[in-house]
Amino acid sequence: MLNFSIISFITLILISQNIILLNEEILILICFITFIWLLLSKTSSLMKKDLNEQASAIQNSLENSFNQIIVSLDKEWHIQNEFKSLTYNFELLKAHFVELNLFISDKLSKFALNNYQEAFKKKLIFVQRLENQTSKLLALLVVKKLNKAIALKTYYLTTFQLPILTCTYKISLREFFKVI
């Protein structure tokens, strides 16, 4: 209020001294300034309150936006960490599968070799038994045939007494003695 009275007093002095000329434009300017001053003095508290409300609304909106951005960035960070851990887990799983495959392939070859060896041993034992039995059987058959041949030869020598048979008997005896 004090400022207004000082300004008014100075303005009156300047007008009375004809330093400031009063014309239409100056009067319009004075009216406009007075209007603005009255408007500000009467409505400043309302405008201040309204501007404060708008500022608080904007501040709340910005805080909500920032909070939503923080929440979304936090979710994105967690997703990226989970993805990194997922890729790491897949790499570990790959390493375990490779190790398992190497272990299985190594053990499988040994297992197959052992199975083949066991089967081969069983077959070999079976073949050896079969050979032994076959050789015994063949020996028995040869002995029987030789016994029959000897029996027939002696029968023919004693019964028929052919000189050719006696000759072959003597030749075979000589060959037998040479071998001994």
Tell me the pLDDT tens digit for each residue of 70-124. 999 999 999 888 888 888 888 999 999 999 998 888 888 888 888 888 988 998 9
How many domains is the chain partitioned into structurally? 1
User: Model confidence at 52, in pLDDT bands (50, 70, 90)?
Assistant: very high
Cα 39 to Cα 50: distance, rounded to the nearest angstrom = 15
Tell me: pLDDT of 9 over 90.
no
Predicted confidence at residue 156, as pLDDT, reads 72
Model confidence pTM above 0.85: no
Q: What is the mean pLDDT of residues 43-47?
A: 83
Residue 161 banded pLDDT, cuts 50, 70, 90: low
Domain housing 128: 2-179
Look at residue 66 in the predicted model and tell me its pLDDT.
Answer: 95
3-state secondary structure 109-150: HHHHHHHHHHHHHHHHHHHHHHHHHHHHHHHHHHHHHHHHHH
Contact 178, 172 (CB under 8 A): no
Q: At what angle do helices 163-179 and 24-159 cross, to 10 degrees?
A: 130
